[in-house]
Amino acid sequence: MKLPFRIRPYDDDDRPALKFIVTYRQAGKRKRRFFTSKKEAESFGQLLKVEFQNHGSEGVAFPSSLRVMAGECAAILAPFGKTIRDATAFYVTHLHQEENSVSVAAAVAELIRLKEAAHKSPRYVNDLGLRLGRFCKSHGERTVASITAKELDEWLTGLAVAPGTRNTFRRDIRTLFSFCERRGYCASDPAKHTERASAVDTPPGILTPTQLAALLTASTEDVLPVVAISAFAGLRSAEIEKLDWSEVNLFSGFIEVTAAKSKTKKRRLVPIAGNLASWLQPISKVAGPVAPVGLRKRLDAAKRQAGLLDGWPQNALRHSYGSYRLAQCADAARVSLEMGNSPQMVFAHYRELVKPSDAERYWQIIPSKQSRKLIKLTSAA
């Protein structure tokens, strides 16, 4: 198709600012327009081309206001190396993206349903819903496509939480927007461009041998196996809550954590240490749940009785196992298999947290011969 215009350089000493000229025909008459740059001339030419395609050569006419507006737009875009056509294409893409997007609240609800259908643990799904629900309070009615990385950073920095907790929120936000990108609700994932908070590396809280002995002493028979398995086998709380006595084999010397009950969805065998066997032997059963109904209240009662309820470290029993076990065997890969973690995580979190002498005392905590309710430390406290 022959173009309805021609662009060529223009050189006039009387008008040195004008560098290009566009010639075209309108209603049978020859017309000329002058421009200071080639980009402006090309933008005007594109307008002529569209008008020619719509109405033919006789309809190529622009109101003066439109010509002025086109010139202004072209001048604004010129420093960026872009034309009016580029700007139009970009904005049309944006409009399509907005049209295909959904609200943040709807995307969160869809993500939660997806996680539930994938059989993610109820605790993970609940925590994910709580944190993303907090994001929805301020952004729920916005479309996913309209959220920017700058807005996400501002929301994250506005949270009155510790750096580690902020990074947990950031992780869940990234989960949401990565999901939305795959669904086509946003052109790209803005969350991956957010800033990660610098958290101070603090060691996990653990119990001393004396504190653990006091807790075991204070535990009633129904909660005692939970405390002992947590401290001497390192199972996660959620894994113990699902554990059955049929999976605790004192004869073979292993506890089986099935794939269905493991956080990582991978089966693993955890060795039953000698002192753990001493605690479980008198109270073990052939089958049935290891954890009693109302575990949390019963465990809190034991902590209170032992004087440990206030200031109880998060995941204290599992962290204690990792720390004392690594000090005992000095094998991060081995401990990682037993705990269901990576060797890098075990090495980073549990290395050099306790002295070998304390580890020796820890693994010698056994029930006394006189009473299963008393604890004997085979070395001085």
pLDDT above 90 covers a percentage of the chain that reads: 50
More confident residue, 86 or 263: 263
State the DSSP string of 46-101.
Answer: HHHHHHHHHH-GGG----HHHHHHHHHHHHHHGGGT--HHHHHHHHHHHHHHHHH-
Question: With the C-alpha atoms ordered 297, 300, 305, 306, is the resulting torsion angle positive or negative?
Answer: positive
pLDDT in the model for residue 89: 66
Least-confidence region, from 23-27, 103-107, 250-254, 333-337: 23-27
Residue 115 CB: number of other CB atoms within 10 A? 17
348 within 8 A of 335, measured Cβ to Cβ? no
List Cα–Cα distances, 119 to 261, 265, 349, 369, in angstroms: 11, 10, 29, 45
Least confident of 2-6, 118-122, 297-301, 320-324: 2-6
Residue 269: CA count within 13 A, CB half-sphere? 6
Residues counted in the chain = 381
pTM: 0.60
Structure tokens that stand for 55 in this block: 């109405």
Say which CATH topology domain 104-193 has. Answer: DNA polymerase; domain 1 (1.10.150)
Pairing of strands 29-35, 248-249: unpaired
The model's confidence at residue 55, banded by pLDDT at 50, 70 and 90, is low
pLDDT for res 52: 67
What SS3 class is residue 301?
helix
Structure confidence by residue, pLDDT tens digits, 325-372: 999 988 888 999 999 988 888 877 787 678 889 999 999 999 975 444
* % of the chain surpassing 70 pLDDT: 84
List the chain domain ranges.
Answer: 5-99, 104-193, 209-377
Phi, psi values for residue 65, rounded to 5°: -65, -40
pLDDT of residue 371: 43
- CA-CA distance, 101 to 181, in Å (whole number)? 10
Is residue 381 over pLDDT 50? Answer: no
C-alpha to C-alpha distance for 46 and 171, rounded to whole angstroms? 46
Distance CA 229, CA 250 (A): 12
> Same topology for domains 104-193 and 209-377, yes or no?
no
> Per-residue pLDDT for 53 more than 70?
no
CB atoms within 10 A of CB 84: 21
Greatest Cα pair distance in the chain: 116
pLDDT of residue 93 exceeding 90: no
Task: Give me the pLDDT at residue 78, please.
Answer: 75
What's residue 297's pLDDT?
Answer: 94
Mean pLDDT of the chain: 84
Q: Averaged over 226-233, what is the pLDDT?
A: 96
Q: What is the spatial distance between Cα 23 and Cα 8, in angstroms, rounded to a whole number?
A: 9
Per-residue pLDDT at 138 exceeds 90: yes
The CATH class, in words, for 209-377 is mainly alpha
pLDDT exceeds 80 at position 79? no
Residue 184 has pLDDT above 80, yes or no: yes
How confident is the model at residue 109, as a pLDDT?
95
pLDDT category, 86, cuts 50, 70, 90? confident
Per-residue pLDDT for 65 more than 60?
no
**Mean predicted confidence (pLDDT) in 226-249:** 95
Distance between CA atoms of residues 71 and 66, nearest Å: 8
Q: What is the DSSP letter of 294?
A: T
Whether the predicted pLDDT of 98 surpasses 60 = no
Structure confidence at residue 33 as a pLDDT band (50, 70, 90): confident
Confidence of residue 380 (pLDDT cuts 50, 70, 90): very low
